[in-house]
Structure 1
């Protein structure tokens, strides 16, 4: 199944700019407002309410004050939940993000009726300074068992290939870049430059600088018969690649994105998306600016089977 009908969200309690992740997340800008947490919480609650209003099941858990984890609002980087009843814990680049891994969150999902039969823990690779930040760094095409991964400090190629071998995905490895001042630097997470939905793929091909890699990615997408919807690098900077398709329990599909991303799209791009599904967009400006992540980063899909 490509789209989940349940998502996990972590409610912020001390959200703010994270200097450790800003080392290679060039989307982050530090705001000095005293009410950043209050604004982020309002954005979080409004976003969750929009999803629920469409019938998407949202399981929310609250962050903890101690240990302090300013990026806990982005749970998809440290955990993923699979149809075979497995949860996976991932190795994280920033030391202050590693404390986000919480086994009590698994208990919350069990209490919601989901079955977690095994936890696959890759976090020990942090000791080797190898990182693989979940569905931030990997984009899954579940229908075709393909995993797309853009190499960066947050995606170690060897570890990515190891994950794919263990979980039965065919890895598609490439390198993507963005302009930072007068430099061309690696994009920190694959999910800011591409999104795979049931019937289409949104992607910024212009940020794949190597022509052979770019053609390879296009060929793989073409082989899945999914419509390819290109976005520009300027749109990528507005989080237009950071989208996720979800569905409600009736099977109706939605493409989820931020207000910033939505406003950056052309009418043609919007129409092409809406030919396949409705768009849900929410104001996430405070979260995007300080956290350097957007709508997709806030959602951990729950594909787990229901407990018998």
Structure 2
């Protein structure tokens, strides 16, 4: 199994704004004072287009599908939460915490991926769990070490333990379960998505170990990372707040590897951290200021990796 891919699906927003339904437990979303949703959307589109251009310039194959005006889907820019694509031609569909995010799941997105020359053999659909208020938000909740068959998951209102274990059984991953917290108004609160505090590359892992309050859980996560040959690059909770955990390694032209992150994430890294990352791969950053502030997600959330076989 490969850990990185050259093909990424991205959804260009039409009605991007701060989603009040996700703000309940996404503490990275900020209130925007007197900014019209149209202005936010226009800025998000500019950031999106510049980001896609940068990815394509290094040779990443980006499939861009436009969001639809049919529904109110302010978070459609983060497709990795509702869909995942796997090497044997399997697609995973996931149950979403916010009701308006469930409207992001669209048949024509799968059709666009197929039209791009990829083969979908079967779909594993977990979305009926929404009826029981049980959620598992795709590769936001699941961090997949595809090469070593390990799945990491920080439990939260958006990541249910039983459903995570079911996923691991279906897709043949060894589950590594823990709780990751952040300090919000002096209290420890669960981090809503695993991929905010952790990123897995082929030979390294960027992770905020300080978010894992339980020492046993922390040790267990470290052991799995070390045993699978990953160099651990530690980040701080303050850096997590600047989206330094929300990164993704991709394959560019000539098989060159890049770690993709936002400008805010890059700017908050120390020289020492950058040096360690650059031992493993190059870095590409792009400004996602509006998307991060209103959406509470960053570079990684915007990319759904495509590992499907070609037709």
Q: Verify same fold: TM over 0.5.
A: yes
Of residues 139, 153, 157, the one that matches 1:153 is 157
Q: Report matched runs for 1:198-213 at 5 Å.
A: 198-213=202-217
SS in 2 for 1:73: coil
Shift of 1:30: 2.2
Query: 1:45 maps to which residue?
Result: 49
SS at match of 1:275: helix
SS in 1 for 2:135: coil
After superposition, what is the alpha-carbon deviation per residue over 1:183-242, rounded to whole angstroms, capped at 9, x for unaligned? 110000000000000010000000000011001111111101111000000100100000
Aligned 8 A contact 2:58 2:253 in 1: no
Cα distance in 1 for residues equivalent to 2:78 and 2:29: 14
What RMSD over aligned residues (CA atoms) do the two structures have, in Å? 0.6
- SS in structure 2 of the partner of residue 250 of structure 1: helix
Match of 2:81 in 1: 77
Write the distance in 1 (CA, Å) between the matches of 2:63 and 2:31: 29
Q: Tell me which residue corresponds to 2:282.
A: 278
Q: Secondary structure at the match of 2:23?
A: helix
Structure 2: state its 5+ residue gaps: none
Aligned pair 1:248/2:249, yes or no? no
Q: Equivalent residue for 1:29?
A: 30
Structure 1 segment 115-264 matched on structure 2, within 5 A: 115-264=119-268
3-state SS of 2:254 partner:
coil
The TM-score with structure 2 as length reference comes to: 0.98
Distance in 2 between the 1:96 and 1:131 partners?
Answer: 14
What runs of 5+ residues in structure 1 fail to find an aligned partner? none
Question: Counterpart in 1 of 2:7?
Answer: 6
Say whether residues 1:269 and 2:276 are aligned partners: no
**Deviation string for 1:14-69 (max 9, x for gaps)?**
10000100000000012131210110000000000000000000000000112110
Give me the whole-angstrom Cα distance separating, in 1, the residues matched to 2:239 and 2:186: 19
Instruction: For 1:132 and 1:233, locate their aligned partners in 2 and report how far apart those are by CA, in whole Å.
Output: 23
1:65 and 2:66 matched: no
Distance 2:49 2:204 in 1: 29
State how far apart, in whole Å, the 2-side matches of 1:214 and 1:47 are.
34
Report runs of 4+ in structure 1 exceeding 3 Å deviation. none
Report the alpha carbon displacement of residue 168 of structure 1 after superposing the two structures with TM.
Answer: 0.3
> How far apart, CA to CA, are the structure 1 residues paired with 2:65 and 2:239?
31
Q: How far did 1:250 drift?
A: 2.2
- CA–CA separation in structure 2 for the residues paired with 1:250 and 1:13: 34
Structure 1: how far apart are the matches of 2:238 and 2:196? 12
Compute the displacement of 1:249 (Å). 4.6
